[in-house]
Structures are given as structure tokens and as C-alpha cells.
Structure 1
Amino acid sequence: MSLHDRSGKQAAFFERIMGLPVFDTHTHLIGDRLGARDFWEIAHYFWFYRELQAGGYPDEADKLPEEERIPAFLKAYRSTRSTLMNWVFTSIMRELYGVTIKDEHSVREAMVRVRHASAEEGWAQQTADRMNIRRFVVNHPEHAAFQGMRDDAVLIPRIDGVLGPWVDRIVQSNDPARTFLDVGGEIDLLLGGFREAGLPGIMTTLPRYESSSHIRKEIGPASGRDDILMELLHVLCGAAARNGLLVQLFLGVERSWCGTAFPANDTERILKLTALFESYRCEFELVLASELNNLDAVQAAWNFPNVHVGGMWWFNFRASTYRDSMQFRLEALPANKSSIIVSDARSMEWSYGKILLVKKLAAEFLWERVLSGWIDEETALHTANEWFYASAMRRYGIRSEDQT
């Protein structure tokens, strides 16, 4: 095959990857304000803001008058031009608004265009359609009604807001065993209500834990927090199995060591949960924020038919970790065991931009596998469709004409 022919086939392959449907499996989108209302909501998105700060952007930049904020932003923007979120932000400005950020005039032009777009009826749906993002997950009931969109969000309730207080109640109780049983009853009622509402599952983050799910502990006055947490996880998983609910576990972010969230690799993090995977017939989805646990999650999904690997979360959202994780998944798992997209976006524009990046990374990775002879194009496209969309649709029990 000539270089020209190969280049043409690659371009056609990339175009097909870019056109595939997408399920964004974890967002912070709010249904009545899906699009950014001004330029700074996009420019100050948490992930990009962190990189800008590393590039010299001042603390509380949002409080500066614009005549000071814009030059400070431009200086930090130029200093971060090699970073991943700079690439995404630049792509958002270029692809959605037709603006190349280079000077104060271009920033002010972007401000006008973002403001005008935010007032357009249907802007959020148009933005999603440009990347063929079909569905989104949110974790709060009040966020799920997506105004101006064809479909509401899929609600997977977040329960870490009650899981911690449950542990606190048992620790502080004069009768921990009795309180543990009471909490178990509350869990049954809560998850039964989710089943009756037709929800697909529950989501929770977990802190670092010393206890292991394969060592069962009777709860009493001497029980420590980690043992109580692990026994509550047994109760939760049992209730999820009885109610046919998925359990999403978001792992790898620690918040108790300092004033900010930080990634924490732990070689036993997933190992300590494997008795849950083995004991309960509910489906599990593992979403990771720590690089070194990516292979552990794939091993768990390889060993347990009810375990799936979810998207790249928090500090795992890096081009390098994506490539490694895609290789782990491709060689060890059927494609229907994986979803790879977690935008964590707070506006539709950042969902668009981060998924643009993931599609580009997946297209590059899969094309390399095709060229090296490990897979053919049909397998590559099937894999991408499962990773982007189809596996999540099945996992969350949503029917679509696109499912195969």
C-alpha cells in the first residue's frame, strides 16, 4: 500500500471513529444550565484552572477586574501550551466558537461569542450533536431533567453522602450492633426505592481502607471505622443484588491528607474488594483516578464476569494513562466489558472538548493496532463503539436502536 493510500485509509478510519455515538458516563452537568453562560466558565473549568495556576495564574483570578484578568490569563495560557487541558480548551474555542486565542482582542471576541451562543435555543443539544454524544449520567436527581435536550440524563444516585454518616452513626452509637442492623434496614429501603424508580444503580466513592472484604467482622463496641465500612459494603452489595442494581465504585482520590483532593495509588485497593465481586451477583463498574490501579481493574474484570471497567476519572484523565489502559483492555477483555469516557464536565462545552480528545486518542491507538496487524478495521470500529457507547447502554439497561 502506498503512503498516499495509507493516509487516505487512516483519514477515513479517523472520520468513522469521530462519528461514533458516545455515552458520557459521569458528569456534573445541571439540567437547567447545561451550556457555559460566559467565557470564564469555560476558561476556569477546574482541570484547566489547575494547569493555569501551575503556569502562574493568580489565586482568585475570577475576582480580578477584566483589564487585569485577561493579560494574566494570556500569560498562563501561553505557558501551559503543552498541557492536555490547554489542548482541549484551545479546541473548544476553535471548533465551537471559531476563535484562536492569541491576544486580548481574541479573548474579548471569544467572550462575545460564548455569551451569544449561551442565549441560543438548542445550543447544548447542538454542541452534543457535534460530537454525537447521545446520553449523559448525573448523580443528583435535581440535575437529571435536561432542558432543551432530546433525552434527560441517566440518574445513578450518589450515596457517599450517606455512607460516611452511616459509618459515623455506628462508630458513635452506644449499641453499634443494633445501629448497624438499623442502617441495614435503611439501605434496603433506599435501594428498594431506587429499583421502584427504575434507576440502573448506585455510585459511591471510597476512601482508603485497611480492612478487606474477605475477612468478615462482627460489628460491636470495638469495631473500627474501616471494618464498619467494609461490612456496610457487604450490606450494600447484597441489597444491590436483590434489587438488580449496578454498583459503581469510584476509587483512587484521597481527601483526608491535605486540603485538596490527591491521587493515591494502592496496590491492594481492588484486591481488598474482590470478595464482594465474588459474593454478590450485582454488576460492578470500577472507575479509577489512580494510574497504577488501571491494570488491577482489568484483572478484576477478567476474573469476575460481573465486573466492568469504567472511564478514566480525575488524575487518570491523561493521554498516557488512556493509551496504557486501552492496551490493557484490548488484549484482556471483550469490548463490552469497558466504557472509557468520563468527562467530569460541568458544562456541555467541556464534555464536547474532553470527548473530542478521547476520540482522537482512541483513533490513534486503534489505528496503530490495525497497522501492526493485531486487529482489523472492523474489530477496531466494533471496539470503539462498545467503549464509547454500546456497553454503557447495556450496562445501564437503556434500549436503543444503535445496540447490537
Structure 2
Amino acid sequence: MSLQDNGGKQAVFFERIMGLPVFDTHTHLVGDRLGARDFWEIAHYFWFYRELQAGGYPDGAEKLPEEERIAAFLNAYRSTRSTLMNWTFTSIMRELYGIGIKDEDSIREAITAVRHSAAEEGWAQETADRMNIRRFVVNHPEHAAFQGMRHPAVWIPRIDGALGRWVDRIVQSEEPARTFHAVRDEINRQLDGYKDAGCPGIMTTLPRYESSANIRREIGSASGRDDIMMELLHLICAAADRNGLLVQLFLGVERSWCGTAFPANDTERILKLAALFETYRCPFELVLASELNNLDAVQAAWNFPNVHVGGMWWFNFRASTYRDSMQYRLEALPASKSSVIVSDARCMEWSYGKILLVKKLAAEFLWERVTSGWIDEETALHTAEEWFYASAVKRYGISAGGA
């Protein structure tokens, strides 16, 4: 086959990957304000903002007069032109608005363009359709009614706030054992309610923990926070199992060491939870923010039929970690055991941009696997369809008619 023929086949393959449907499995989208309300809401998205600050963008830039703000942004934008989020922001501006950011006038043009798109009634659905994003997950019920969209968001309740309060109550109680049993009843009522409301599952983050799920402890006056939390996780998983609910575990971000969130690799993080996966039949989905646990999550999914691997979260959202994680998953797991998309987006434009990036990375990775002879094109496309969409549809129990 000539290089020209191979290039043509690659272009067709990439086009097919880009057209596949997507399930965005973790967002911060709010149903009545899905699109960015102004340019700066896109430009100041947390991940890009961090990179801009590293490139010299000042704290409190939003307080600057607009002309000074534009100049400061342009300098930081140019300084960060090699970074992943700069690429994504640049793609958002180019693909959605037809604007290349090159000078202050182009930024003013973008400010006007986003102001216009914010006033367009169908902009959010149009933006999602351009990347074939069909469904989204949110964690708060008041965010799930997606105005102007064909489908509401899937609501997976976030319980980490409640989990922390339950631990505090037991630690501070004069009768920890009695309070623990009261919390057990509250957990059962809460998860029963989620089942009745039609939720497919629950989501929680977890801090670093020293206790392990395979060592059971009676809760009493000498119990530490980690032991209490682990016993509460047993109660939560038992209630999820009884109600047929998914348990999403978001792992790898620490907030107790300093005033900002930080990634924390822990070689025993998933190992200490393995007894939960073995004891309860409910499905688990592991979503990681720490690079060194990506292989651990795949090993857990390989060992336990009810464990699945979710998308890349927080500090794990990097091209390098995506490529490694996709290799781990491809060679060890059926594609139906993985979802690869967690946009963490706060506006539809960033959901579009980050999913564009993931699709590009997946297309490059899978095409390399095809051309090196490990898989054929049909397997590659099936893998991408499962990773982007189909596995999440099954995992979250979404009917074909509602997807």
C-alpha cells in the first residue's frame, strides 16, 4: 500500500472516530446556563487558568480594566502555547467560532463572538452535536434539567459531603456505636430514596486512608476516622448492592496538605478497597486523578467483574497519561469495562473542547495499534465506541430510546 493510500485510510478512520457518540460521565454543567455567558468564562476555565498563571497571568485578572486584561491574557496565552489546555482553548476558538487567537484584535473578536453565542437559544445543543455528545452526568439534582437540550442530564448524586458529616458525627459522639447504627439507618434511607428517584448510582470522592476494607472493626470510643470511614463505605456499598446502584469512586486528589487540591499517588489506594469489590456485587467505577494508580484500576477491573474503569480526572487529564491508560485497558480489558471521558467542564464549550482532545488522542492511539498489526480497524472502532459511549449507557442503565 502506498503512503498516499495509507494516508487516505487514516483520514477516513479519524473521521469515523470523531463522529462516534459520546457520554460525558462527569461535568459541572448547570441546566439553565449551559453555554458560556462571555469569553472570559471560557478563557478562565480552571485548568487553562492554572496554565495561564504559570505563564505570568496575574491573580485577580478579572478586576483589571478590559484592555489591560486582554493584553495580559495575550502574553500568557503566547507563553503557554505548548500546553494541553492551550491547545484545547485554541481549538474551541477555531472550531466553534472560526477565530485564531493571534493578537489583541482577535481577542476582542472572540469576546464579541461568545457574547453572540450566549444569546443563541440552541447554542448548547448545537455545540454538543458538533462532537456528537449525547448524554451528560451531573451530581446535583437542580442541575439536571438541561434547558434547550434533547435530554436531561443523568443525575448521579454526590455523597462525599454527607460521608464527611457522618464521620464527624460518629467521631464527636459520646456514644459512637449508637451513632454509627443511626447513620446506618440514614444511609439506607438515603440510598433507597436514590433508587426510587431513578438514579443509576452514587458518586463520592475519598481522602487518603490508612484503613483497609478487608479488616472489619467494631465502632467504639477508640475508633479513628479512617476506620469509621471504611466501615461506612461497607454500609454504603451494602445499600448500593441491595438497590442495584453503581458506586463511583473518585480517587487521587488531596485537600488536607495545603490550601489547594493536589494529586496524591498511593500504591495501596485501590488495594485497600479490594475487599469492597469482592464482597458486594454492585458495579463500581474507578475515576482517578493520580497517574500511578491507572494500572492499579485496570488490575482491579481485570480481577473483579463488577469493577469498571472511568475517565481521567483532575491531574490525570494529560495526553501522556491517556496514552498509557488506553494501552493498559486495550490489552487487559474488554472495551465494555471502560469509559474514557470525564470532561469536568463548567460550560458546554469546554465539554466540546476536551472531548475533541480525547477523540484525537484515541484516534492516534488506535490507528497506531491498527498499523502495527495488533488489532484491525473493526476492533479499533468497536473499542472507541465502547470507551466513548456504549459502556456508559449500559453501566448507567440508560435505555436505548433515551440515549
TM-score (norm 1): 0.99
Matched AA of 1:65: P
Rounded Cα–Cα distance in structure 2 between residues aligned with 1:61 and 1:5: 50
The residue aligned with 1:84 is 84
Matched AA of 2:137: V
Matched AA of 1:224: G
Task: Note the C-alpha offset of 1:401.
Answer: 5.7
Q: Is contact 2:240–2:246 with CA below 8 Å preserved after alignment?
A: yes
Q: Secondary structure at the match of 1:37?
A: coil
State the Cα deviation string for residues 48-82 of structure 1 (Å, max 9, x = none): 00000000000011111111100000000000000
Q: Secondary structure at the match of 1:4?
A: helix
Rounded Cα–Cα distance in structure 1 between residues aligned with 2:388 and 2:267: 28
Q: Secondary structure at the match of 1:121?
A: coil
Task: Note the C-alpha offset of 1:374.
Answer: 0.3
Q: How does 1:5-404 map to 2 (within 5 A)?
A: 5-400=5-400
Rounded Cα–Cα distance in structure 2 between residues aligned with 1:401 and 1:3: 42
Using a 3 Å threshold, how does the CA distance of structure 1 residues 18 and 124 change in structure 2: closer, same or farther?
Answer: same
Rounded Cα–Cα distance in structure 1 between residues aligned with 2:385 and 2:258: 40
Rounded Cα–Cα distance in structure 2 between residues aligned with 1:90 and 1:198: 39
Q: Is contact 1:339–1:388 with CA below 8 Å preserved after alignment?
A: yes
Task: Note the C-alpha offset of 1:373.
Answer: 0.4
User: Where do 5+ consecutive residues of structure 2 fail to align?
Assistant: none
Task: Note the C-alpha offset of 1:178.
Answer: 0.2
State the Cα deviation string for residues 90-138 of structure 1 (Å, max 9, x = none): 0000000011001110000000000001101100000000000000000
Rounded Cα–Cα distance in structure 2 between residues aligned with 1:205 and 1:402: 28
State the Cα deviation string for residues 322-368 of structure 1 (Å, max 9, x = none): 00000000000000000000000000000000000000000000000
Q: Is contact 1:390–1:402 with CA below 8 Å preserved after alignment?
A: no
Rounded Cα–Cα distance in structure 2 between residues aligned with 1:80 and 1:152: 36
Q: Is contact 2:151–2:402 with CA below 8 Å preserved after alignment?
A: no
Matched AA of 1:278: E
Task: Note the C-alpha offset of 1:180.
Answer: 0.2
Task: Note the C-alpha offset of 1:400.
Answer: 1.5
Matched AA of 1:350: W
Matched AA of 1:68: E
User: Where do 5+ consecutive residues of structure 1 fail to align?
Assistant: none
Matched AA of 2:65: P
Task: Note the C-alpha offset of 1:402.
Answer: 10
Task: Note the C-alpha offset of 1:29.
Answer: 0.1
Matched AA of 2:119: A
Task: Note the C-alpha offset of 1:155.
Answer: 0.2
Matched AA of 1:166: W
Alignment identity in percent?
A: 84
Rounded Cα–Cα distance in structure 2 between residues aligned with 1:250 and 1:335: 20
Rounded Cα–Cα distance in structure 1 between residues aligned with 2:142 and 2:198: 16
Matched AA of 1:81: R
Q: Is contact 1:121–1:148 with CA below 8 Å preserved after alignment?
A: yes
